[in-house]
A and B are shown apart, each in its own frame.
Chain A
Amino acid sequence: MTPSADPGRRASHARLLRMIVARIGVAVMTLFLVSLIIFVITNLLPGDAAQELLGQTATPAQIAALRHEMGLDRPAPVRFGLWLAGLAGGDAGMSMVTNMPVSAVIAERLPNSLLLAAIAALVSVPFALSAGILSAVNRGGRIDSALNLATLSMVAVPEFLVATIAVLIFSVELRWLPSISMLPPDATLLDRLQSLAMPVASLSFVVVAQMARMTRAAIIDQLDRPYVEMARLKGLSARRIVIGHVLPNALGPIVNAMALSLSYLLGGAIIVETIFNYPGLASLMVNAVTSRDMPLLQACAMIFCGIYLMMMLAADLIAIIANPRLRTA
C-alpha cells in the first residue's frame, strides 16, 4: 500500500492543510486591520495634504481645487478603499515631497534594507543559538548566570549607544572602517562589506541578546518534560539528549523566537540606518515623518508591518510542520 493511499495519513494531511490555510487567513485579516489602523491614525487630524502643499497664502478656492484633484474631498471609507486597492496593485500614490511615485522611491531603498537585515540575521543566529543552548544546558550554573547578566544588559542598551561606541572604536581610534555608508555606484565588494560592517554589528548586538534569551527559554521548557528524564534514565549522554531529543522538539519554539527577535531588526534599523546614513527603507521612513510625506509614510509602515506579519506567519507554519502533535491533534 502506498503512503498516499493510507486513509489516516491522507486525513492528517488534509487537517494540516486546513490549519495552514486558517493561519494564512488570520494573517491576511490582521494585515487588513493593520492597514485600517494606519489609515485612521494618519487621517485623524484635520488639515490635509492640499493645505500643507499650498501653504498659508493659498485661497480657499485653490485648496478646494487641489483637494478635488487629489481625491481628498471624497468620504474617508472611499479613500481607504482606493488606497488599499492601490497598495494591493503596487501603486501607493505619489510621494508629496519628491514628486515621484512612492513605489519607485521605495523600490530604490528596499533592497538595501533587506540586504542589511539579511546579513545581520546571518550573523546573529549562530551566536544567539549557541549562547542560548549553552546557558540552557548549564542552567543555574556560572555560565548561565554570566550570559543572563550579559543579555539582560544588552537588551536594555539603546542602539545609538552601540553605534556610537562602534564608530568611536573602529573609525575614530583604529580608522579601519568608514563612519558613514555612502557608497559610489562603482564601489568594490570589499568597500560594500566594509561599509556594512558597523551597521550590521550594531543591529546584531541587541538582536543576539534577545534571541539568546528566548532560545534558552524554549530549550529549558523542553528540558523539564518527562521524555528528557526518560532519556536521562536510559543513560544517554547530555550531548545526545540535547542534540537528538531536545533540539528537534524545541525547533518550533526556537524558530518562533528567531522570527520574533529578527522582526526587531525592523525597528532597530530605524536608528542604525539613520546614524550611518545608510540608504535603506527605515531612514526613508524617518525622512517621511520629518517632511510629513503621508503617502510615503503609509507605504513604508505597511511594508514594515507586512514583513513582520510574514515572519510571524512563517514561524507559525514552521512550528505546525515541525511539531507532529500539532499536525495530528
Chain B
Amino acid sequence: MIAARPLRWVGRLRPSGKVGLALVLLWALVALLGPLFAPYSIGAFIDQSVFSRPSAQMPLGSDYLGRDVLSRLLSGARYTVGLGAGATIIACTIGTSLALTSAVGRRVFDEAMSRFMDAFTSIPSKILALVMVAAFGSSLGLLLLVTALTYVPGNYRIARSLAVNLNQMDFVQVARARGEPIAYIAVREILPNMIHPLLADLGLRFVFIVLLLSALSFLGLGVQPPNADLGSLVRENMSGIAEGAPAVLVPALAIASLTIGVNLLIDALKRKAGA
C-alpha cells in the first residue's frame, strides 16, 4: 500500500522527516554502491603528504598514511551500515521471538525470562559490550553477535509489553477459544498488530548499535585492520586533530548524519501515526 503511492507518503512527512529520509537513503546507497564510486583503491598511498587539505584529486584530502579519505569513507560506510543493520535484525528477531513466547507461553517462562532480561539491562550497554569483546574477541562475526546481544534485552522489554497488552484483547481470546495453536496466535494474531511500534524500536536499536559499534572501533576494540568502519577511520586519524584534518572530522560527521537521519525519520513517522 505504501509502495503504491510513495510520493504521497513522503509528501505527508514533516520537513525534518524528509531530511531524515534523504539521509537514510543516501547512506543506504553509499553502503550498497559506495565502493563502485571510490576514486582509488582503499589501501593505495596516493599522496606524499599526510592529512592534506581537500583538492581536485582528493575531495576529502588524505589520511595519516596519505591514502584517499573519500575512498576509505565509501568503503567504511559499508561496514558500519552493514554490521549495524545485521546486528539490529538479529537483536530484534531474538528479542521479539522471546517476547512473544513470554506473552503467550507459560507463566514460568515469562517470569524467568523477564528476571533474566532485567538483570541484563542492569549492565550498561557499553560495559556489557566491552566484557564480551574481552572474552570473545572482535572478529567481524563476533562483533555482529556482541552488538546484537547487547541490545536484545531492550527490544525484549518493549516487545513483551506490547505483546502482553495485545494478549488481553478480545480477538486473541477468540482465537484461543477456537483452539488455535500458540505459535499461530503469536505470529498471526499478535505480531501483525504490534508491527508499527516494533519498527520504530528497530530504528532506535539501529541507532544504538551503530553508535556502539563506532565507539568500539574508535577504542580499537571493534572492526580490526585491514578492515575499517567509520569508527576505525576516526581512530586511525586522531593524530590529525591538531591540524583540523578532514580525515578525522568527516567520518565522525558521517556517523552522526546517519544516526541523526534515522532518528529524525522515526520521529516524523511516529508523529504521523500518532496524529
Residue A309 lies at the interface, judged by CB distance under 8 Å to chain B: yes
In the complex, which residues of chain B have a beta carbon less than 8 angstroms from the beta carbon of A270?
126-127, 130, 215, 219
A37 to B124, CA, bound (A): 13
Structural contact, B255 and A161, CB atoms closer than 8 A: yes
Structural contact, A160 and B120, CB atoms closer than 8 A: no
- From A173, A266, A271, A308, B219 is in contact (CB under 8 Å) with A271
List chain A positions with a Cβ less than 8 A from chain B.
30-31, 33-34, 36-38, 41-42, 44-45, 148-149, 152-153, 155-161, 164-165, 167-168, 172-173, 179, 263-264, 266-267, 270-271, 274, 285-286, 288-290, 292, 294, 297-298, 301, 304-305, 308-309, 312
CB distance from B244 to the nearest CB of A (A): 5
- From B16, B124, B221, B242, A286 is in contact (CB under 8 Å) with B221
In the complex, which residues of chain A have a beta carbon less than 8 angstroms from the beta carbon of B75?
none
Structural contact, B211 and A156, CB atoms closer than 8 A: yes
Q: Which residues of chain B from 126 to 153 have any CB-CB distance to chain A below 8 Å in the complex?
A: 126-127, 130-136
- From B16, B248, B263, B267, A164 is in contact (CB under 8 Å) with B248
| Given known A-B contacts A148-B267, A285-B130, A158 and B256 have beta carbons under 8 A apart | yes
Structural contact, B215 and A305, CB atoms closer than 8 A: no
CB distance from A47 to the nearest CB of B (A): 11
| Given known A-B contacts A42-B131, A45-B135, A301-B123, A30 and B118 have beta carbons under 8 A apart | yes
Structural contact, A149 and B16, CB atoms closer than 8 A: yes
Q: Name which of B125, B127, B135, B253 has the most chain A CB atoms within 10 A of its CB.
A: B127
Structural contact, A41 and B131, CB atoms closer than 8 A: yes
Residue B116 lies at the interface, judged by CB distance under 8 Å to chain A: yes
In the complex, which residues of chain B have a beta carbon less than 8 angstroms from the beta carbon of A149?
16, 264
In the complex, which residues of chain B have a beta carbon less than 8 angstroms from the beta carbon of A263?
124
| Given known A-B contacts A270-B130, A289-B134, A290-B220, A168 and B123 have beta carbons under 8 A apart | no
Structural contact, A297 and B131, CB atoms closer than 8 A: yes
Q: Is the interface of B mostly helix, strand, loop or mixed?
A: helix
Structural contact, B255 and A312, CB atoms closer than 8 A: no
Structural contact, A158 and B249, CB atoms closer than 8 A: no
Structural contact, A168 and B244, CB atoms closer than 8 A: yes
Q: Which residues of chain B from 235 to 255 have any CB-CB distance to chain A below 8 Å in the complex?
A: 241-244, 248-249, 252-253, 255
Structural contact, A153 and B249, CB atoms closer than 8 A: no
Task: Contacts A156-B259, A274-B218, A301-B130 known; list 9 others, CB within 8 Å.
Answer: A30-B119, A153-B263, A157-B259, A173-B244, A270-B219, A271-B219, A285-B127, A289-B219, A305-B124
| Given known A-B contacts A41-B135, A157-B259, A301-B127, A33 and B115 have beta carbons under 8 A apart | yes
Q: Is the interface of A mostly helix, strand, loop or mixed?
A: helix
Interface residues on B, range: 35 or more
Q: In the complex, which residue of chain A has the Cβ closest to the Cβ of B234?
A: A160
Top-4 shortest CB links A-B:
A33-B119, A156-B259, A267-B126, A161-B252
Structural contact, B255 and A290, CB atoms closer than 8 A: no
Residue B48 lies at the interface, judged by CB distance under 8 Å to chain A: no
| Given known A-B contacts A45-B136, A172-B242, A266 and B215 have beta carbons under 8 A apart | no
Q: In the complex, which residue of chain B has the Cβ closest to the Cβ of A263?
A: B124
| Given known A-B contacts A155-B263, A158-B215, A290-B220, A266 and B124 have beta carbons under 8 A apart | yes
A156 to B126, CA, bound (A): 15
A266 to B134, CA, bound (A): 18
In the complex, which residues of chain B have a beta carbon less than 8 angstroms from the beta carbon of A158?
211, 214-215, 218, 231, 252, 255-256, 259
In the complex, which residues of chain B have a beta carbon less than 8 angstroms from the beta carbon of A157?
256, 259-260
Structural contact, A152 and B263, CB atoms closer than 8 A: yes
In the complex, which residues of chain A have a beta carbon less than 8 angstroms from the beta carbon of B255?
158, 161
CB distance from B31 to the nearest CB of A (A): 18
Residue B228 lies at the interface, judged by CB distance under 8 Å to chain A: no
Residue B122 lies at the interface, judged by CB distance under 8 Å to chain A: yes
Residue B223 lies at the interface, judged by CB distance under 8 Å to chain A: no
Residue B262 lies at the interface, judged by CB distance under 8 Å to chain A: yes
In the complex, which residues of chain A have a beta carbon less than 8 angstroms from the beta carbon of B231?
158, 160
CB distance from B179 to the nearest CB of A (A): 38
Residue B162 lies at the interface, judged by CB distance under 8 Å to chain A: no
Structural contact, A42 and B134, CB atoms closer than 8 A: yes
Residue B207 lies at the interface, judged by CB distance under 8 Å to chain A: yes
Structural contact, B234 and A164, CB atoms closer than 8 A: yes
Q: In the complex, which residue of chain A has the Cβ closest to the Cβ of B118?
A: A30
A103 to B180, CA, bound (A): 58
A184 to B203, CA, bound (A): 46
In the complex, which residues of chain B have a beta carbon less than 8 angstroms from the beta carbon of A309?
122
Structural contact, A44 and B260, CB atoms closer than 8 A: no
CB distance from B218 to the nearest CB of A (A): 5
User: Can you show 25 pairs from A to B with CB atoms below 8 A apart?
Assistant: A30-B122, A33-B116, A33-B119, A37-B119, A41-B135, A149-B264, A156-B259, A156-B260, A156-B262, A157-B259, A158-B214, A158-B256, A159-B215, A160-B214, A164-B248, A164-B249, A266-B127, A285-B127, A286-B219, A289-B221, A290-B220, A290-B221, A298-B131, A308-B122, A309-B122
In the complex, which residues of chain B have a beta carbon less than 8 angstroms from the beta carbon of A167?
241
